């Protein structure tokens, strides 16, 4: 089929309205994104939307109206708070879900007993619905799984030849799809954030919930809106959302090879980049995001680091879309340490730390900080109070005596840890220079893992560890074994860590490279 490309002149809109009335498919501009419209009362026409898009049949469509009066035909009742939203906002980038009436075909609601209704602001969209003389069911006019189209060219790329007509109305002013709010249950729930923000809605109807699925990868069966369970807006590249300020982002990405940055205008980026709007302007980010994702595909990007939107106001909508494009992959550069490095004694942690250092990471060494901290007056006083003032000799701690007392019982060890751990952690955070590795044998015990973006443990088999410890510390096998026994089992580290490096002398650098590639 040839797709007829129409303008938004009055006569073209009339023509498009006729196509809809006769069961055809017309893509049209709205203020959010382009929609792919069909007569909402025509079961067959609606079915052909699913076919053209390759859309799963269990994902319902929004019904678009030109007049508020039409809404009552579509729903069994309009709850008072839903009416308040309609009065306050419509026409708007807002979809209100209510219990459906008998007039809504099964294929529109995808088996649910509700329907989403929206009255678009865009004049061409309103004129088309009026010209069609029927409500228009319309999802975004992209191939299922692709970024929503914010211009007519993108619609042609995805659906050219598969639909009857396209009205070219230029670029969409908002750029992300409407806010979807369910008014069908006891409590209003925002299922999808959009340009009408939670704050604006709450000013009108009081407290509303934001669905957990807006920002998190929730279990499929718990998705309240079927659309939330699909991997949306997915570019071909692996996208990672990077949280943290501009400086850290620049430093982080500028050292990387073979990757793209998805950043804001004016960011000082030395690798290939695509921008999406301006820092601090949620609206400009919303407007440009989908085009930027498509551009990255055109450029053949394989891996993309994206600056994170604000996440509040309209930024919530931008974050919701971007995090899906990233399949929920994030890196938080605001954490003091990018990597927490730990493992049993003799596992070869030092070797891994050395390699990370070569790669440009700064190392915060917990052993170093514990030596500094223990000579601190405040800490010395606490230790003296807990273990006896005779552990202080010439203004410093007598380590052997302290160890003897502190390790004499589990209770004493806990007391020592309660004094030392927060102090060491504090000092390490103060000394951390981005990007930083926290090298800590007691990473989990001291709570340092919570300050790390990822945790990596190094493991090696017992025999290897034994001989390494004997050589390194020049001690007997019996002494080395005692030291090994005093530690947690390998399982403890494996369970708690995000990633593992098996240090058996082979492929260690490759293992580390892979972790950095996949996780950071
Ligand atoms: O801005 C927009 O809303 C655009 C333009 C064209 O109006 N439309 C749009 O439609 O984004 P679509 O189909 O791509 O996304 C609609 C979302 C889906 O996540 C769908 O699951 C959800 O709204 N939805 C629709 N009806 C629903 C219902 N009755 N209950 C729960 N979720 C519903
Ligand atoms: Mg869509």
SS3 303: strand
Judged by average pLDDT, the poorest of 9-13, 420-424, 504-508 is: 504-508
Least confident residue range of 71-75, 234-238, 273-277, 287-291: 234-238
Ligand 1 atom index nearest CA of 110: 29
Give the side-chain half-sphere CA count within 13 A for 44. Answer: 5
356 CA → ligand 1 middle, Å: 46
Distance from the alpha carbon of residue 139 to the mean position of ligand 2, in angstroms: 6
The residue whose C-alpha atom lies closest to atom 33 belonging to ligand 1 is: 225
Give residue-wise pLDDT tens across range 301-342. Answer: 999 999 999 999 999 999 999 999 999 999 999 999 999 999
403-453: pLDDT as tens digits? 999 999 999 999 999 999 999 999 999 999 999 999 999 999 999 999 999
Ligand nearest to the CA of 119: 1
Distance of alpha carbon 229 from alpha carbon 171, whole angstroms: 28
Over 90: is that where the pLDDT of 55 sits?
Answer: yes
Residue located nearest, by CA, to atom 6 of ligand 1: 35
Separation of first and last alpha carbons in the chain: 46
- Counting atoms of ligand 1 from 1, which one is nearest the CA of 228? 19
Ligand 1 atom with the smallest distance to the CA of 180 is 23
Return d(Cα 259, Cα 256) in angstroms, integer: 7
Which atom of ligand 1 lies nearest, measured to the CA of 64?
A: 7
**Helices within 327-365 (DSSP H only):** 349-358
Percentage helix, strand, coil for the chain under 3-state DSSP, each rounded to 5: 45, 20, 40
Distance from residue 444's CA to the centre of ligand 2 (Å): 42
pLDDT at 228 over 70: no
CA–centroid distance, 32 to ligand 1, in Å, is: 12
Contact 196, 176 (CB under 8 A): no
| C-alpha of residue 303 to centroid of ligand 1, in Å | 29
Ligand 1 centre to CA of 40 (Å) is 14
CA angle centred on 338, ends 374 and 308, rounded to 5° = 140
Indicate which atom in ligand 1 lies nearest the CA of residue 224.
31
Q: What is the CB < 6 Å shell around ligand 1?
A: 30, 32-33, 35, 59-62, 93, 95, 97, 109, 112, 114-116, 118, 138-140, 177-178, 180, 191-192, 225-227
Which residues keep their CB under 5 angstroms from ion ligand 2? Answer: 140
Quick one: pLDDT band at residue 39, thresholds 50, 70, 90?
A: very high
Rg, C-alpha atoms of the chain: 30
Q: Which ligand is nearest to the CA of 227?
A: 1
Structure tokens that stand for 39 in this block? 């007569």
pLDDT at residue 513 greater than cutoff 70:
yes
DSSP single-letter state for residue 488: P
Stretch 491-518: mean pLDDT: 92
Is 2 exposed, middle or buried, given 0-12, 13-18 or 19+ CB atoms closer than 10 A?
A: exposed
Is the predicted pLDDT of residue 69 greater than 80, yes or no? yes
Structure tokens at 464: 């290897």
36 exposure class (CB count in 10 Å sphere: 0-12, 13-18, 19+): buried
Minimum-distance ligand 1 atom for the alpha carbon of 194: 1
pLDDT over threshold 90, residue 225: no
> Tokens standing for 277?
């709007």
* Predicted local confidence at residue 220, as pLDDT: 55
- pLDDT at 235 exceeding the cut of 90: no
- Tell me, in angstroms, the distance from the centre of ligand 1 to residue 34's CA: 13
User: Is a pLDDT exceeding 70 seen at residue 229?
Assistant: no
| Residue 410 Cα to ligand 1 middle (Å) | 58
Give the sign of the dihedral formed by CA 160, CA 163, CA 167, CA 172: negative
pLDDT above 60: residue 222: no
- pLDDT score at 219: 63
The Cα–Cα gap between 250 and 39 comes to 49
In this structure, which residue's CA is closest to atom 21 in ligand 1?
A: 227
The confidence score (pLDDT) of residue 230 equals 60
**Candidate of 49, 129, 139 to mutate for ligand 1, largest count of ligand atoms within 8 Å of Cβ:** 139
Task: Give the model's pLDDT for residue 234.
Answer: 75
- 473 CA distance to ligand 2 centroid (A)? 62
pLDDT at 486: 85
Token reading at 184: 């069908």
pLDDT of 131 higher than 90:
yes
Nearest ligand 1 atom to alpha carbon 95: 3
Return the DSSP state at 140.
B
Per residue in 356-389, pLDDT (tens digit) is 999 999 999 999 999 999 999 999 999 999 999 9
């Amino acid at each position: 089929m040839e797709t007829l490309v129409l303008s938004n002149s009055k006569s073209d809109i009339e023509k498009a309205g006729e196509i809809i009335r006769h069961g055809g498919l017309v893509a049209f501009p709205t203020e959010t994104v382009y929609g792919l419209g069909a007569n909402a009362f025509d079961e067959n026409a609606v079915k052909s939307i699913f076919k053209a898009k390759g859309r799963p049949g269990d994902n319902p469509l929004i019904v678009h109206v030109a007049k508020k009066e039409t809404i009552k035909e579509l729903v069994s009742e309009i709850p008072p708070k839903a009416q308040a939203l309609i009065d306050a906002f419509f026409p708007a980038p807002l979809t209100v879900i209510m219990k459906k009436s008998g007039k809504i075909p099964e294929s529109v609601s995808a088996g649910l007993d509700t329907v989403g209704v929206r009255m678009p602001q865009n004049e061409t969209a309103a004129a088309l619905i009026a010209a069609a003389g029927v409500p228009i069911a319309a999802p975004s006019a992209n191939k299922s799984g692709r970024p929503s189209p914010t211009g007519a060219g993108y619609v042609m790329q995805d659906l050219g030849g598969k639909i009857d007509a396209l009205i070219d109305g230029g670029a969409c002013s908002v750029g992300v799809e409407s806010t979807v709010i369910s008014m069908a249950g006891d409590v209003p729930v925002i299922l999808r954030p959009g340009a009408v923000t939670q704050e604006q809605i709450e000013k009108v109807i009081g407290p509303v919930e934001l669905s957990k699925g807006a920002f998190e990868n929730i279990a499929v069966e718990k998705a309240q809106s079927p659309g939330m369970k699909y991997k949306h807006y997915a570019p071909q590249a692996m996208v990672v959302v990077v949280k943290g300020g501009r400086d850290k982002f620049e430093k982080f990405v500028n050292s990387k090879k073979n990757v793209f940055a998805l950043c804001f205008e004016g960011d000082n980026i030395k690798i290939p980049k695509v921008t999406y709007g301006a820092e601090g302007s949620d609206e400009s980010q919303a407007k440009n995001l989908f085009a930027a994702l498509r551009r990255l595909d055109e450029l053949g990007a394989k891996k993309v680091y994206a600056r994170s939107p604000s996440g509040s106001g309209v930024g919530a909508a931008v974050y919701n879309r971007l995090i899906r494009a990233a399949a929920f992959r994030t890196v938080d550069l605001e954490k003091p340490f990018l990597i927490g490095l730990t493992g049993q004694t003799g596992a070869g942690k030092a070797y891994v730390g050395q390699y990370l250092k070569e790669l440009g990471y700064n190392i915060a060494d917990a052993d170093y900080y514990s030596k500094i901290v223990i000579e601190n007056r405040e800490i010395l006083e606490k230790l003296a109070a807990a273990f006896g003032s005779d552990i202080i000799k010439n203004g410093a701690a007598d380590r052997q005596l302290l160890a003897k007392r502190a390790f004499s019982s589990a209770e004493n060890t806990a007391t020592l840890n309660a004094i030392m751990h927060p102090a060491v952690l504090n000092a390490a955070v103060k000394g951390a220079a981005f990007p930083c590795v926290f090298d800590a044998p007691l990473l989990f015990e001291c709570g340092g893992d919570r300050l790390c973006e990822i945790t990596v443990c190094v493991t090696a088999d017992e025999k290897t560890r034994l001989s390494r410890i004997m050589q390194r510390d020049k001690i007997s096998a019996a002494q080395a074994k005692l030291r090994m026994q005093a530690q947690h089992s390998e399982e403890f580290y494996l369970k708690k860590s995000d990633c593992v490096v098996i240090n058996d002398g082979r492929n260690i650098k490759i293992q580390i490279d892979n972790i950095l590639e996949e996780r950071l």
